[in-house]
Structure 1
Amino acid sequence: MYEKQSAKLQNFDASGQPSAWDGDLLGRQDDAEFLLRFIVSRVDERKRAGRRGSYVLNVDAEWGHGKTFFMRGLFEDIQKTEHPAVFIDAWKNDFGDDPYTHVISEIESYFKGFVEDDPKTGPQAKFKNVYKAVKSNAGKIFWTALKGGAKRATRYVIGESTDEIIEVVQTYTPEGGREIASGSFEEIEKSVTAVNDSIIDAFADKRMQEFEEAKQSLANFKTSLAELLRAFEEHTGKKLPLFLLIDELDRCRPTYAITMLERIKHLFDVDDVVFILSTDTQQISHAIRAIYGAGFESKRYLQRFFSRTYQLPKPSVDELVETLVADSGVDPDKWSSPGITPDHVSFLAKASYHFDMSLRDVKQSVDILLSLTTTWQEKGKIELSLMYPLIFGFLSGQDIDNLGENGWLWRRAAQIDDWIENDVGSFDGFKRFNQFNKRGDVVLEFLRKLRQPLYETMRVQVSEGSAIPTYTVAYVDDQLKREYHLRFSNVVRETERGDMLKYPALIKHAGNLRIY
């Protein structure tokens, strides 16, 4: 089943290489094609309407809904359209203080590939000259940020602007007072009372001069970046706008994520620049409130930065399970699930629904199941109707060691009345079935049989022959019979219990590997 699906979903680009959309089980490529058409058209509309500045699109989806897969595929599609495009993994570099340096470094690296060694005249020479101007102006902004970063610790301890005050006091006070200005906060506070009007004026002049220098550097950078884009289009024949895709922003430190948004807003607000950011907007909102306070209107704050938000459609549970299983590379032949013609993905999806699992629960539960499958060395197969609910119970903090009638799984399975399947067809030599059965009863039947030795099930089956009344009983007995024969062949082992009793312990081991 999975090999056929994988082959059907295999995509190739014009060079015959696998596409980033290979294995797109959630239909994300359709979303990317729509968004790309929308953005290019919207940028043209804004130009005709005389609207200036960059365009910022927020791609919003919860954790685990394929944002990175989507962004990689969209990046590939943009490159095929001959638009300049840069991909930035924000989380990979959030160890730094200022994301500006990360963004400008990626931009500079991209354009550097188009700079010819020694152009004499024409578009090539113009492009190289403007490229140098952008690097120079970017460096000035970087230096300003670096100076600010060196003073940050002082501001946290003493207060905003105190470092500048110290510098001015040291410059203008007599020789004997300079040691005081370098001392503790209490010493500084005492010395400030002796600061005369000339020192205050000098401090004000210094701050105003720095502010004007920062404004001019920013203006110069924006102007040179706009000129670079026009020269780039003329030099290469590529089409504007320039796309900057920033992924994993919601995984960054809250302060870094917020600073990234602010830098995009203030430093890169240039015509023909499009930012596409992938975020879990709800998580970003929580992070902002953690910094600015619980009462802060974080969503309204975010609206300042985004021109538009595109909500990636939530995948159905079926799509999510199918994607997780197909992408894992595990062997589903190690699994067993109820049904005349078993469909493991469908069973997992339906079990997720009937056990009221959230999408996060599904992803974590399937991940543990996949880890268990990777390490599975038993002769029998993993029984999904028992293993998967127990994994969910483990994640929910339930006591999964208790498999008796007063245990969580027994009680929960007994409550599932609406999961009914029509079992039609033959099953391993038994009479032809055409029955409606509750899948919760399969769980209960396994739990009942696990309380007795495997050989007891074998003897019941031999005495009753093939006239077993329900598919549910036939399925459970058949699985236990298979396990018995695989483990003991023709040897009679009357006291051995089923391997399914080991499930809780195995789940706890695999649970230590789970994703968050």
Structure 2
Amino acid sequence: MEKQMVKQIELDWSKGKIINDEFFPEDKLGRVKYATFLTKLLASQGFDKSRDDVDQKRNYVLNLNSEWGAGKTYFLKRWSEDIKDYYPVVYVDAWKKDYSDDPLMTVISSIIEQLRKQAGKDKESPEFKVPRKLIGLLKAAAPGIGRGLFKRYVGIDPVMIMNADDDNESLGEISTDENGKPIDMSFAASEAVKYLIDEHDAKSAAIESLKKSVFEWVGAVVSLKKKELPAFIFIDELDRCRPSYAVEMLETIKHIFDIKGVVFVIATDTEQLQHAVKAVYGEGFNANMYLGRFFNSRYSLKSPNLENFLEVHCDVNKLSGDYLRDLNVEVLPFNEDAKITLRNISVVLNAFTVSARTAIQIADRIVATISNMPKGSKVDILMLTILLCIKDKDSNLFDEIVSGEFERHIQNGEKDKLIYLNDFLSNYIPNIYHNSK
């Protein structure tokens, strides 16, 4: 019998959708085609019946790279919600969970809760029991317990040995038991090695037990709800977490959750994540190479068309002719259609090469400024946009302009020539664009 290929799934984001009481509007950035493509890619990597039996299930980790404010979370939430109809899915907002200080428990608790609900089971369900061996992997318990047990069985506090000087006197004070009798340090060392080996073996067994349990939870959703492998686990907002937590999350996923039949999508602003890695390992550390170890591949969301992007993220109706007439505020240049005004704003923002995040902030300030102007006011909306862009790029220049103290000269032969603001800006804006390339 011929083995089935990966299911073809077409996602539809042409209408708005409510996800966990939050409204997500229609996809105006054309992102659904990327979600459809990545679903097929990850589904085929995680599980493919056309491969040999022993190789049908694989683990795969994709890094979805996009700067803050470019629609990454919208993309991830709509994508993860829509494929729940076909696959077991877990969505983790790492930033909202980094208070836990234990990435392993963050992911495990999310997996159990979300897969249990997708399987239609209650909290007492035997299919979703937690393995007892998991307690050995708890970050909070391990350091104190390890040190205490070592001292109990070997008779020496390992921290005191590490802190001691190398001379015999200081070691002699430590290497006696509570009754003052000498301890055989070579025996103690061999016991320490034995303890570490036993601990390593026990942790390895606990990890294997955990992997088995995770796949059993996935299997419960697949069998009970007639879904397919692989399971998708989405990790969002990792770049916004505390550096130590972000790094531990990556290492947890790499070393504990490399489970066949499970694929991970880790959404980050990769540049910001590299700063987090350097904060942990040092400024001279090769963060890009380090991150490359964790991901099978990287995919970047293209920068959106700014006009469409702003239409999604700002209150564009407050730029319409009807709204401006109600306010009795005159905007130059005036356009009845708010989208034309937004297009003009976008042209200026593109000229200054501002980031998606900054574009949203500037557009919101423009709308807020117009909405709060006194009746009968007039405002040049393009000059307002230019000034806000300059404020973002060069606050000192902005202060000079708005205070009326702007003055620039160029040498023209033997005389200084005064440059007016419009001439200055005609050169300033192209230079901004050129330097950002």
Moved more, 62-71 or 376-385: 376-385
Q: Which amino acid aligns with 1:102?
A: T
Contact 1:170–1:181, Cα closer than 8 Å, also in 2: no
Q: Give the aligned partner of residue 58 of structure 1.
A: 63
User: Per the alignment, in what secondary structure is the counterpart of residue 206 of structure 1?
Assistant: helix
Q: Give the aligned partner of residue 85 of structure 1.
A: 89
Q: Which amino acid aligns with 1:322?
A: E
Q: Give the aligned partner of residue 140 of structure 1.
A: 135
Q: Which ranges in structure 1 are unaligned for 5 or more consecutive residues?
A: 1-8, 120-127, 152-162, 419-516
Contact 2:116–2:122, Cα closer than 8 Å, also in 1: no
Q: Give the aligned partner of residue 99 of structure 1.
A: 103
User: Per the alignment, in what secondary structure is the counterpart of residue 246 of structure 1?
Assistant: strand
1:191 and 2:173 aligned: yes
Q: Give the aligned partner of residue 212 of structure 1.
A: 201
Cα deviations by residue, 1:457-492 (Å, 9 ceiling, x for unpaired): xxxxxxxxxxxxxxxxxxxxxxxxxxxxxxxxxxxx
Q: Which ranges in structure 2 are unaligned for 5 or more consecutive residues?
A: 1-12, 177-182, 325-329, 410-418, 428-437
Contact 1:181–1:188, Cα closer than 8 Å, also in 2: no
Distance 1:189 1:29, change over 3 A: farther
Q: Which amino acid aligns with 2:224?
A: H
1:285 and 2:285 aligned: no
RMSD: 3.7
Q: Give the aligned partner of residue 414 of structure 1.
A: 423
Cα deviations by residue, 1:366-423 (Å, 9 ceiling, x for unpaired): 2322333454444324431232222222222122423366289x855324559xxxxx
Distance 1:356 1:391, change over 3 A: same
Moved more, 351-360 or 290-299: 351-360
Question: Taking structure 2 as the reference length, what is the TM-score of the superposition?
Answer: 0.74
Cα deviations by residue, 1:305-360 (Å, 9 ceiling, x for unpaired): 1122111011133333333334x764544472326767211211122234454545
Q: Which amino acid aligns with 2:30?
A: G
For residues 247-326 of structure 1, what are the structure 2 equivalents within 5 Å?
247-326=236-315
Pick from 385, 388, 400 the counterpart of residue 391 of structure 1. 388
Contact 1:12–1:19, Cα closer than 8 Å, also in 2: no
Q: Which amino acid aligns with 2:422?
A: A
**Higher RCO (C-alpha 8 Å, min separation 6):** 2
Question: Taking structure 1 as the reference length, what is the TM-score of the superposition?
Answer: 0.64
1:68 and 2:63 aligned: no
CA distance in 2, matches of 1:353, 1:172: 67
CA distance in 1, matches of 2:123, 2:93: 33
CA distance in 1, matches of 2:212, 2:15: 41
CA distance in 2, matches of 1:393, 1:118: 55
Distance 1:407 1:89, change over 3 A: farther
CA distance in 1, matches of 2:81, 2:272: 27
CA distance in 2, matches of 1:97, 1:284: 18
Cα deviations by residue, 1:196-235 (Å, 9 ceiling, x for unpaired): 2222222222211111110111111112322333343222
Kindly tell me the number of residue pairs found equivalent between the two proteins.
379
Q: Which amino acid aligns with 1:230?
A: G
CA distance in 2, matches of 1:118, 1:346: 52
Contact 2:128–2:217, Cα closer than 8 Å, also in 1: yes
Distance 1:46 1:306, change over 3 A: farther
Cα deviations by residue, 1:70-108 (Å, 9 ceiling, x for unpaired): 1111012212x3312121110001122211111111111
